[in-house]
């Protein structure tokens, strides 16, 4: 039976570690993996705008020797009322995997039930698991491993936060999430992350004080204050979130060699200052590049070609 990747929680801790190691190998020796998926095709459906996800997946697929088929919902009959289930059934007859960037997590789950090929969550309103793979690879590269490291996320308790909670817990990390009151991550996700952390040796903490959260951090992480679909709330959020901006003061509260991450796109001067994102602690551009390497590893693993 084919495996899907709809959530970081679809992976065991051992599978996650193996994927990160495979990504590191694919990054260090891309020639060893070129052509591993020759003769295969991957459909990429985008119902939300994309820069990093679109380009990193398309290049990864091509470098593995497969044929990427990028599609928007307006190009498909989805735009004229065909169901996501029927789309999945048809595409399964043509391609070897389907990548979907969409709104509701349920849409991915419905597609995965109907499709007979692996389905990948390339972002939903609930999770962004492909981003989390790249985040963890970046920490592993820069720190020699993930276990015991403390990652602090400042900002909105959004899809990126949910994947980080689950992923950091599986990677034996300590994660602190600091949000304004009322913007915390979904309690069920926090509870699941706490369950994972109990067995992994990690820990999970959700709080509202950004200063307290940043003290002693190995990694500082942020995201836009208003995610896609929440743009109408941007002005309201701009009044609530400034205390959660990653600026030089937050960097100085963390470890001297703290690493700064941002999943991008960045709104400079809002959730992060230009001084920090362009500064010596920033690993943002390595993090963005690692989307391609971790997605290579993911496709190799899902299609049994590693």
Share above pLDDT 90 across residues of the chain, in percent, rounded to a whole number: 91
Q: What pLDDT is stored for residue 59 in this prediction?
A: 98
Question: Which is nearest to 167 in space by CA: 108, 105, 219?
Answer: 219
pLDDT band for position 33 (cuts 50, 70, 90): very high
Instruction: Measure CA of the first residue to CA of the last residue in the chain; give whole Å.
Output: 17
Question: Pseudo-torsion of CA 22, 159, 217, 155, nearest 10°?
Answer: 150
pLDDT digits (tens, 9 = 90+) for 219-259: 999 999 987 777 788 888 999 999 999 999 999 999 999 99
Given a cut of 80, is residue 201 above it in pLDDT? Answer: yes
pLDDT band for position 38 (cuts 50, 70, 90): very high
The catalytic position among 263, 270, 281, 293 is: 263
Domain 8-127+291-302 has CATH 3.40.50.1370: yes
Question: Pseudo-torsion of CA 8, 175, 282, 299, nearest 10°?
Answer: -10
Phi-psi region of 155 (alpha: psi -120 to 50; beta: other; left: phi over 0): left
Given a cut of 90, is residue 112 above it in pLDDT? Answer: yes
Q: What pLDDT is stored for residue 81 in this prediction?
A: 82
* CATH architecture for the domain at 131-287: 3-Layer(aba) Sandwich (3.40)
Q: What pLDDT is stored for residue 49 in this prediction?
A: 87
Known catalytic residue at 191: no
The catalytic position among 63, 131, 245, 270 is: 131
Taking the C-alpha atoms of residue 254 and residue 45, their distance in angstroms, rounded to an integer, is 39
Known catalytic residue at 291: yes
Q: What pLDDT is stored for residue 76 in this prediction?
A: 79
Q: Is the dihedral of CA 178, 179, 185, 191 positive or negative?
A: positive
The catalytic position among 36, 52, 128, 237 is: 128
In the block, tokens 């991008």 appear at: 264
Residues 214/154, Cβ–Cβ less than 8 Å: yes
Taking the C-alpha atoms of residue 146 and residue 168, their distance in angstroms, rounded to an integer, is 8
The pTM assigned to this predicted structure is 0.96
**Strands of the sheet with 67-72, listed across from one edge:** 67-72, 41-46, 97-101, 119-121
Known catalytic residue at 223: yes
pLDDT digits (tens, 9 = 90+) for 123-163: 999 999 999 999 999 999 999 999 999 999 999 999 999 99
The catalytic position among 36, 54, 101, 281 is: 101
| Average pLDDT across the chain, whole number | 96
Residue 66 CB neighbour total at 10 angstroms? 23
Taking the C-alpha atoms of residue 104 and residue 124, their distance in angstroms, rounded to an integer, is 6
305: helix, strand or coil: coil
Given a cut of 80, is residue 289 above it in pLDDT? Answer: yes
The catalytic position among 130, 162, 223, 295 is: 223
Domain with CATH 3.40.50.1370 in the chain: 8-127+291-302, 131-287
Residues contacting 188, CB < 8 A, separation 6+ = none
């Amino acid at each position: 039976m084919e495996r899907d990747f709809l959530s970081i929680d679809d992976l065991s801790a051992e599978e996650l570690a193996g994927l990160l190691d495979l990504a590191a190998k694919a990054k260090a020796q891309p020639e060893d993996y070129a052509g591993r998926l020759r003769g295969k095709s991957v459909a990429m459906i985008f119902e939300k705008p994309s820069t990093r996800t679109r380009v990193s997946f398309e290049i990864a697929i091509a470098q593995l020797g497969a044929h990427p088929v990028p599609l928007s919902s307006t190009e498909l009959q989805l735009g004229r009322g065909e169901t996501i289930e029927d789309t999945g059934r048809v595409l399964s007859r043509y391609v070897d995997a389907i990548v979907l960037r969409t709104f509701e997590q349920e849409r991915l789950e419905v597609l995965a039930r109907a499709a007979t090929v692996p389905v990948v969550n390339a972002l939903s309103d609930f999770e962004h698991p492909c981003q989390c793979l790249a985040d963890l690879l970046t920490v592993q590269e820069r720190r020699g491993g993930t276990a015991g490291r403390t990652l602090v996320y400042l900002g909105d308790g959004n899809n990126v936060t949910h994947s980080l909670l689950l992923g950091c817990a599986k990677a034996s990390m300590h994660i602190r999430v600091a949000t304004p009151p009322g913007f915390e991550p979904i309690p069920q996700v926090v509870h699941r992350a706490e369950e994972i952390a109990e067995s992994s040796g990690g820990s999970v903490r959700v709080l509202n004080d950004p200063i307290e959260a940043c003290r002693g951090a190995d990694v500082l992480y942020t995201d836009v204050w208003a995610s896609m679909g929440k743009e109408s709330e941007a002005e309201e959020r701009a009044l609530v979130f400034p205390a959660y901006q990653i600026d030089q003061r937050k960097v100085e509260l963390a470890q001297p060699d703290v690493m700064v991450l941002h999943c991008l796109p960045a709104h400079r001067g809002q959730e992060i200052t230009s001084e920090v994102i362009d500064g010596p602690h920033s690993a943002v551009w390595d993090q963005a590049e690692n989307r391609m390497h971790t997605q290579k590893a993911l496709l190799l693993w899902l299609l049994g070609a590693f």
